[in-house]
Amino acid sequence: MPTPSHLSSKDPRYFDFRAARRVPETHAWPGLHDHPVVDGGHSAGEDAVPVVDMRDPGAAEAVARAAEQWGAFLLQGHGVPHELLARVEARIAGMFALPATEKMRAVRRPGDSCGYGSPPISSFFAKSMWSEGYTFSPANLRSDLRRLWPKQGHDYRLFCEVMEEFHGEMRALSDRLMELFLAALGLTGEQATAVEAEHRIAETMTATMHLNWYPKCPDPKRALGLIAHTDSGFFTFVLQSLVPGLQLFRHGPDRWVTVPAEARDAFVVNVGDLFQILTNGRFHSVYHRAVVNRDSDRISLGYFLGPPADTKVAPLREAGGKPAYRAVTWPEYMAVRKKAFTTGASALKMVSASTSDDDLSDLFSS
């Protein structure tokens, strides 16, 4: 399986995006312009990315429409302080500005889930992406980041403190959004409480944080910040700087919709594959990518929520209808997803209810 040349364990040389005057073939992607790109701002009509304000009494209905029709929305009125988000963005920018030798101390090795490097998804592709990333678990934040700051000095302490504060806010917000999602399925407060008591979905959710830096690019029409994909877990909060780059794929006709970045403090919420399974297809995951531009760097943070590794995810009976998917754990689904990436198949179709026990077992073990 190919790995990105600039961060490969076999060739640990650092690709200096700042010094690049052209896009090398290793980073040049074909087929980037097979579909038109349209603006997703509030005046874009049917292509306007949905906005959900958590303070609105009709927020649940707005979530239902967005999750069913788009698989994503902009979330406002969430209560996470603006000044905290500004500090988070500043800390991320400072981390990616560190010298290459310091960042490479924390390079993510094959099999590692945390550390510095290209997006984890890049290992499935021969081409490299125009971005750098850092992944860590909030539960192990300080030990994970000691790889980057082994002396645990001022920058380390400040970074950890800001990210711990952010994690606290986001974990509470995750619980509130889960309540909103259950209400969007049509559950009453009493029914939602019963679902949580039975399945402990919100209580046991685990979080992962992925920081992204998309440097400005000398030829953005040839490069790609993040390959098109769906998220695998329940749902993802995306905090992005005021530079557009995130695009959502829509059908009828096929097109890419650019998510507006001018909405200060708004999170993008992406529905993930396991949430599509949990809601029995009522809410669907969204195919998305990140593009780069010539004039500005872009920073984003993905806060990913999903189930514990040993928890089977199956359609909730409260979602209605005959179960459309088989029960899978997150690691089992990732094994299927890996196979799907290498064959061009759909991972969700591979775990549909029509898949036989033998075929499913083969997928998990492959």
Q: If we measure between CA atoms, which residue out of 355, 361, 288, 364 comes closest to residue 324?
A: 355
Q: Is the pLDDT of residue 8 over 60?
A: no
Instruction: For the beta carbon of residue 82, count every other beta carbon within 10 angstroms.
Output: 9
Residue 10 has pLDDT above 50, yes or no: no
pLDDT in tens, 287-300: 999 999 999 999 99
- Of 44-48, 123-127, 307-311, the one with minimum mean pLDDT is 123-127
Instruction: Give the other-Cβ count within 10 Å of 63's Cβ.
Output: 25
Render pLDDT for 62-95 as a digit per residue (tens, 0 to 9): 999 999 999 999 999 999 999 999 999 999 999 9
Judged against a pLDDT cut of 60, whether residue 1 lies above it is answered with no
Calpha distance 133→92 (Å, rounded): 10
**Per-residue pLDDT tens digits for 12-57:** 457 899 999 999 999 999 999 999 999 999 887 999 999 999 999 9
CA-nearest of 124, 306, 138 to 226 is 124
Please write the tens of the pLDDT for every residue from 224-236: 999 999 999 999 9
pLDDT of residue 100: 93
pTM as predicted: 0.94
Report how far residue 128's alpha carbon sits from residue 137's, in angstroms, rounded to the nearest whole number.
Answer: 24
Give the per-residue pLDDT at 12: 46
pLDDT at 83: 96
Catalytic center residues: 298
